Amino acid sequence: AQKVTQAQTEISVVEKEDVTLDCVYETRDTTYYLFWYKQPPSGELVFLIRRNSFDEQNEISGRYSWNFQKSTSSFNFTITASQVVDSAVYFCALGINFGNEKLTFGTGTRLTIIP
C-alpha cells in the first residue's frame, strides 16, 4: 500500500522568509511519480510539479525548488522569499503504475505567510 506523510500540519513564516515543506512517502513499487499541488483558499487544486522515481535531479522553478531523495523517501518543497500569495494548503501526492491511476495524497500542510 502507498502512503504519504506530511508531518507539518501548519507553518507560519514572515514574508520574504524561506520555507520548506516536508513530504515522506512509502511504496514498494520501483516506478512511481511524486507530485505537489497547491490548494489556495478558493479551493481548486493547482498542479505544481511531477517527478519520476528514476530522476532524482532537483528542480527549480522561479522561487520554488524541490529536493527528491530516494534514500530517505522524501520529496521536499522549498519556497524562497515567500510572498503572501503563497498562503495555501500544499499537498504532496504519490502515483504508481506509471502515474496514470490513482494518486495517494498526504494530509497537507497549511502555509500562512505573514505580511
Partner 1 sequence: DTGVSQNPRHKITKRGQNVTFRCDPISEHNRLYWYRQTLGQGPEFLTYFQNEAQLEKSRLLSDRFSAERPKGSFSTLEIQRTEQGDSAMYLCASSTIGTPSSYEQYFGPGTRLTVT
Q: Which residues make up the interface to partner 1 (CB under 8 A)?
A: 4, 33, 35, 37, 42-47, 50, 91, 93, 95, 98-108
Count Cβ neighbours within 10 Å for each residue of 95-111 and write b for 16 or more, e otherwise: bbeebeeebbebebbeb
Q: At its nearest, how many Å lie between partner 1 and the CB of residue 109? A: 10
Q: At its nearest, how many Å lie between partner 1 and the CB of residue 9? A: 9
Distance of CA 67 to the CA centre of its chain: 10
Residue (68 or 91) nearer to partner 1, CB: 91
Residue (16 or 102) nearer to partner 1, CB: 102
